[in-house]
Copies of this chain bind each other. A is one copy, B any other.
Amino acid sequence: MPRRRDSTTTKQRLLQAVFRVSHREGFRSADLQAILARAGVTKGALYHHFRGKTDLGYEMIDQVLRDWILDRWLHSVQKASDPIDALIELARKAEQEVTPERLAVGCPLNNLSQEMSAVDEGFRLRLSSIYSDWRDGLKVLLENGQQRGTVREDVDALSAATFIVASWEGSIGLAKCERSTDVLSACRQGLERYLETLRPL
């Protein structure tokens, strides 16, 4: 039975709100008023639980964005026996499920990185940590494939993982600006072509 005042859910509401608003508007342009309205709480509640807007952003990255990314783009393929098949399948599903809305707002990790990483070291370190874990997870995935014979032995797993992440994010970013599913499709095909080069002969 939820209490009328529950600090846990209040914090969660605020974290979800700052995630959604800054996904659209960017973090610095995300108005506190809009975040509070979305969360359905007042400024007093925010400053009770967080030091300020920046602190709210930090915790959002660690507690919301991180899972949003890794659940979507890593955990869903992490137990696949053939990494290449799994990644191709993931990319196809992602392309099919994209809506005009999602296309226009892009990837929250990429958005935040481009906006904040040159301007606030706290943001950069937290975002970089997500990228690192993502890349590292893909690296392990590819290494498992190498052991099982589904990935070529002579490829550097971390290097390949890095390129996959980079081109993935670049694709979403380009499709966002061009607002075109054709661009997204072309990029997915390009990624597939690359992934095929990682298969054993």
Chain B residues with Cβ under 8 A from A25's Cβ? Answer: 119
A90 at the interface (CB under 8 A from B): no
Chain B residues with Cβ under 8 A from A117's Cβ? Answer: 104, 176-177, 179
Q: Which of A7-15, A46-54, A64-72, A155-163 contacts B (4 or more CB under 8 A)?
A: A155-163
Bound state CA distance, A15 and B21, in angstroms? 31
Give the residue of B26, B169, B193 whose beta carbon is less than 8 angstroms from that of A115.
B26
Contact A166 B190 (CB under 8 A): yes
Bound state CA distance, A25 and B26, in angstroms? 13
Query: By CB atoms of chain B within 10 A, which of A106, A110, A171, A177 has the most?
Result: A177
Given contacts A25-B119, A115-B114, A186-B158, contact A174 B178 (CB under 8 A): no
Chain B residues with Cβ under 8 A from A174's Cβ? Answer: 113, 131, 162, 165-166, 169
Question: Would you list 28 pairs from A and B whose C-beta atoms are within 8 A, ordered by A residue?
Answer: A26-B26, A28-B28, A104-B118, A106-B114, A113-B173, A113-B177, A114-B114, A115-B115, A117-B177, A117-B179, A128-B177, A131-B174, A162-B187, A162-B190, A163-B186, A163-B187, A163-B191, A163-B193, A164-B190, A165-B174, A166-B183, A167-B167, A169-B170, A169-B173, A169-B174, A173-B173, A194-B197, A197-B197
Proximity bits, A3-41, B CB within 8 Å = 1, else 0: 000000000000000000000111011000000000000
Give the residue of B128, B170, B177 whose beta carbon is less than 8 angstroms from that of A167.
B170
Bound state CA distance, A177 and B107, in angstroms? 14
Which A residues lie at the B interface, using CB under 8 A?
24-26, 28-29, 104-106, 110-111, 113-115, 117-119, 124, 127-128, 131-132, 156, 158-160, 162-171, 173-179, 183, 186-187, 189-191, 193-194, 196-197
Bound state CA distance, A111 and B119, in angstroms? 12
Contact A163 B167 (CB under 8 A): yes
Bound state CA distance, A110 and B177, in angstroms? 9
